[in-house]
Structure 1
């Protein structure tokens, strides 16, 4: 799978964005199929299941994110069984887990699951991809839609922190990045210039980051989770250090000093907001890096162990199997644990001393 653009996001709505940039590179966020929809009332379409999409567009990925940007008109989006979300031109909805969902001209319209032909047309990139246009009614909505993919296993704290659906944008006219994305996307779709497919997929990755920024900025003060940690000046520093220098011999004391907090305050605040102690987070992040190196590279285990802070291949292998549930050699061959992650490996990275 190709990696996302090498872009550093230094400012996340006034917060340090290094941990987010590092995570998006490590979990290999990448744009995928991008297409245009023109809807004529009444219309409704159900999204394909992720299991049917990934093998066609990004067979190496294990998590799918779908999005729909309204470029003209209005419509509704809803996860099956949930309340409909109204959308107008200039707004986007991102389904972070690609749950089965319906896009429609009215909130109560139902849609049949898509056929293989529909999916083949969509993924073939024959644009625009029209829906229910045979009725001859005037166009009620135009959408640019697409998918992003990334690694979810063994540890992607961003995905764990996101709600199933995020709505962003400004129906009255957006002068920010999202508004620019819509203009550029419409232009690329219409003009079909050389390289448009690459431009559109990279634009979708940048659009997703902007949606994340907006979501973080909208979080209430009492919110907890990984993204809330990015908004905390002290915790964002600690997270950035862990992501930037995972092989460092970190202790809670060392992180606290760098984050300008006492050891006790950092440990308590990190655990309360991020959801786990700092050393547990470090252990899990090290294994995420290791899993990516095992999946995409040919380096030997000793080199990978050294790269994430283990003094020996044996210690790394024990920690990896304990946390992930399979040994590194099995992960490299594509074997995944059948019963979820293994036990916490924090004891192998320097257990917190309280």
Structure 2
């Protein structure tokens, strides 16, 4: 399994929601900070996007998408000078998940939201507050197909509607991440940038394939086919952290999933992740997760 698929499969989706918006005439809507990761795609028309903490408004056209990776309030509007109404005022009257504002004849947007558990940091922490995906790339054709299918499912509910929309939403999320990575100018260190680099991506895939291995910078450099110094520099440039720090963080991603399952002993988890003793595992876990494995498990169980 490739690293992106693996990380997405590890994310525990606590909730998800999908909705549409039709608007027309003069309109402006203010949205509260989303709970989780939110993406919207413009099916028809144009609008302005304003995101809390982002200096300039962003003009969006049909086929454009945006992904909000932080819990920040945002606004959508036809005219920047208009005062906004609260989104609850129109979404409470939504029919089949589609809300209407104004004349509802010039603009159509599909939105999705995923609320994940606490494993999302690896995937989303280094993304900008808003990631814009412009229409026009080759991969956008798959995104547009999923977009049209979600629009159809929302407008014409049929048996199995919810599961179809959820899977299409996952397809859209992956495509948005792929297209964002393919755009020029995305050079801020992040996990997504790292896996898109052939050499660093190969290193990450090797770590994921055998997380319990006694990895060193030297043997990871052999996987990449470069010197130790080159790997250390390039990994830091792409991922924002050192190679062995990534090994530790990935092990903790796997550890938290195992601890939540509650059917494996802490000693067994430590051994499966390559730690020689429970104390070594506990020390590594505390350094990254800021609590002991036992405390993490107890907290996870209390949340169920």
TM-score of the pair, normalised by structure 1: 0.76
Give the aligned partner of residue 108 of structure 2. Answer: 142
Q: 1:129 aligns with which of 98, 104, 120?
A: 98
Shift of 1:113: 4.2
CA distance in 1, matches of 2:110, 2:134: 14
Superposed counterparts of 1:171-186, under 5 Å: 176-186=141-151
Superposed counterparts of 1:1-354, under 5 Å: 18-28=2-12, 32-50=16-34, 54=35, 64-82=36-54, 83-115=56-88, 121=92, 126-133=95-102, 137=103, 139-153=105-119, 156-170=121-135, 176-220=141-185, 223-334=188-299
CA distance in 2, matches of 1:276, 1:233: 17
Instruction: Classify the secondary structure of the residue corresponding to 2:106.
Output: strand
Number of paired residues? Answer: 299
Instruction: Classify the secondary structure of the residue corresponding to 1:317.
Output: helix
The answer to whether the 8 A contact 1:31-1:202 is kept is no
Instruction: Classify the secondary structure of the residue corresponding to 1:334.
Output: helix
The answer to whether the 8 A contact 1:90-1:173 is kept is no
TM-superposition CA deviations, 1:154-198 (whole Å, max 9, x none) = x72321221111222427998621111122112212221111111
CA distance in 1, matches of 2:138, 2:200: 34
Say what the alpha-carbon RMSD is for the aligned residues.
2.7
The answer to whether the 8 A contact 2:14-2:117 is kept is no
Q: 1:270 to 1:196 in 2, by over 3 A?
A: same
CA distance in 1, matches of 2:272, 2:97: 46
TM-superposition CA deviations, 1:270-304 (whole Å, max 9, x none) = 12332221111111111122112222443211121
Q: Gaps spanning 5+ residues in structure 1: where?
A: 1-7, 9-17, 55-63, 336-354
Q: 1:158 to 1:106 in 2, by over 3 A?
A: same
Q: 1:131 to 1:319 in 2, by over 3 A?
A: same
The answer to whether the 8 A contact 1:148-1:205 is kept is no
TM-score of the pair, normalised by structure 2: 0.87
The answer to whether the 8 A contact 1:157-1:226 is kept is yes
